[in-house]
């Protein structure tokens, strides 16, 4: 079994994928899914933050992963209006996690991350842009193996303000 840095057994949450890959097309939204897996016997609270909150929507951006279960977090990139130089992206995401008490609510979880003295784990994820031409050749390979692509494309507008925590890292 291959070992990834964010999938250590001693972590509160196993986080996949290790980096967020968005299909980059002008004037089109793109989404990725992050899977948070809790293999422990305790509930684990999480909070997702980004260096560029105007560009991304995160749902849910805060929550609780119950013991021995998983939670999918959807990150949606707003429709870009211009191509960045060399298709490079410096955006990052930070996932914070902490052991939570049984029966904790989302509101209590929001306050939990503001408490001092808690042992909070952090996992950083970088963002990569995938050009449509590279994606097409990648999809051909993936369809033969049966694995699912990381990014999906959406064509509607995005007008929510959820997931606006800013962090510099």
- Amino acid 107: pLDDT: 86
Least confident of 32-36, 54-58, 134-138, 159-163: 159-163
Q: Domains plus CATH for the chain?
A: 5-146 (2.60.40.10)
Name the residue among 115, 68, 118, 125 with its Cα closest to residue 98: 118
Determine the Cα–Cα distance for residues 111 and 105; give it in Å rounded to an integer. 10
Tokens representing residue 40 in the block: 């422990």
Examine the pLDDT at 163 and tell me if it is beyond 90. Answer: no
Q: Which residue has the higher pLDDT, 110 or 51?
A: 51
117-130 tens-digit pLDDT? 889 999 999 999 99
Would you place residue 134 in the very low, low, confident or very high pLDDT band (cuts 50, 70, 90)?
low
- Amino acid 106: pLDDT: 83
Tokens representing residue 69 in the block: 């279960």
Q: pTM, whole model, 2 decimals? A: 0.76
Report whether 18 contacts 4 (CB < 8 A).
yes
Examine the pLDDT at 79 and tell me if it is beyond 60. Answer: yes
Strand 29-38 and strand 151-154: the pairing is antiparallel
- Amino acid 168: pLDDT: 53
């Amino acid at each position: 079994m291959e070992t990834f840095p964010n999938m250590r057994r001693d972590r509160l949450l196993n986080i996949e994928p290790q980096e967020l890959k968005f299909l980059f097309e002008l004037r089109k939204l793109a989404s990725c899914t992050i899977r948070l897996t809790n293999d422990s016997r305790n509930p684990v609270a999480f909070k997702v933050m980004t260096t560029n909150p105007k560009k991304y929507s995160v749902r849910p951006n805060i929550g609780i992963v119950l013991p021995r279960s998983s939670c999918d977090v959807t990150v949606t990139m707003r429709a870009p209006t211009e191509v960045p130089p060399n298709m490079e992206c410096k955006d990052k995401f930070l996932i914070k996690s902490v052991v939570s008490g049984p029966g904790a609510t989302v509101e209590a979880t929001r306050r939990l991350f503001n408490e001092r003295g808690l042992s909070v784990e952090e996992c950083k994820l970088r963002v990569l842009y995938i050009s449509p031409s590279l994606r097409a050749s990648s999809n051909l390979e993936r369809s033969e193996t049966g694995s699912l692509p990381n990014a999906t494309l959406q064509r509607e507008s995005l007008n929510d303000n959820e997931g606006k925590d800013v962090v510099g890292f």
